[in-house]
Amino acid sequence: MIDLSTVPIRLAPIRTDAGQIHLIRANSKYADSVAEAGKLALDTVKPWMGSSLVPTTPRTAKQLLDTLEEQRKIGYGVCYLLIWQQQCLGMGIVNYIHPIHKTANMGLWLVPEARGKGVAFTLCQRLIDLATQPLKLNRLEYLTLPDNHASIKLAQSLGAQKEGLCRRRVFGQDALLFSLLI
């Protein structure tokens, strides 16, 4: 098991023209804000990530955030919320951490207003830094829908290599697999 008890509560913020976006480890005190963000992102994110990672009520958001914290405690993964002026803009996650092979998945979702502004790229850079130190992973995998051109462009801009199409990989949908050797 990889010890996630030492991962920072906050990662370096994302600087934007509108101010800093804080990257804060998932915590149930943000349940209301996460639920509001989930409502804004649901239509575009749910088909890919499912409704469990995109809650739309404070109750389901709290359940998700508590689950993510429990998963961190057992070494499964860690999630960071993007908080800007008390508003959640989405989340980034490193999960399915394999302690022997030193690999994991990286994923994210953002509210529509945060997309196309470099936020996803910087978030992924912070997650890659986390995966490198302190987690000491050597590979991150990133899955996306084959027709999600923005997500494909993100993977390529991060230097990830396209490995192929995984049939029925996520919720019965095909997914492109990108890998990043770190």
* Domains present along the chain, CATH in parentheses: 10-181 (3.40.630.30)
Strand partners, 83: 22, 88
Between the two ends of the chain, the Cα-to-Cα distance in Å is 19
| pLDDT tens digits, one per residue of 19-59 | 999 999 999 999 999 999 999 999 988 877 878 899 999 99
Q: Please state the φ and ψ torsions of residue 93, each to the nearest 5 degrees.
A: -140, 145
Tokens representing residue 126 in the block: 């912070």
- Average pLDDT value for residue range 159-178: 95
Q: How far is CA 51 from the centre of its chain?
A: 14
- What pLDDT is stored for residue 50 in this prediction? 77
Single-letter residue type at 11: L
